[in-house]
């Protein structure tokens, strides 16, 4: 992967998760965590999927940094859910 391609992919929300997954698969954990955090910042924040269903992230789950990022994803998910309820009529 060239730096130029990585720079281009950095600005796409879905590629951020794919890059995290790819780097996790080949054991490039530092890069995987960098991309995963960026994916969460972009709004890829389904804690259930990230935490247990995405098989490509399995190698990262034993690292404490994963728990930190999963908590960040949960918080963002909660914020989005709350924002979606603003203005709803019961």
Cβ neighbours of 40 (radius 10 Å): 24
In-domain check, residue 77: yes
DSSP 50: I
Separation between Cα atoms, residue 90 and residue 87, nearest integer Å? 10
- Domain range for 50: 3-83
Rg for the chain (alpha carbons), in Å?
14
How many domains does the chain contain in total?
1
Examine residue 70 and state whether it is found in any structural domain, yes or no: yes
Mean pLDDT by 10 residues, the chain (90 residues): 84 90 96 96 92 95 97 92 64
Q: Which residues contact 21 (CB under 8 A, 6 or more apart)?
A: 32, 54, 56, 57
**pTM of the predicted model, to two decimals?**
0.84
- 90 lies in a domain? no
């Amino acid at each position: 992967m060239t730096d130029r391609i990585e720079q281009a992919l950095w600005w796409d929300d879905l590629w951020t998760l794919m890059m995290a997954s790819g780097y996790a698969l080949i054991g490039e954990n530092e890069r995987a965590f960098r991309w995963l955090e960026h994916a969460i910042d972009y709004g890829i924040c389904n804690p259930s999927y990230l935490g247990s269903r995405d098989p490509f992230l399995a190698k990262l789950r034993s690292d404490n940094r994963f728990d930190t990022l999963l908590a960040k994803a949960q918080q963002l998910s909660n914020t989005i859910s709350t924002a979606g309820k603003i203005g709803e009529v019961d």
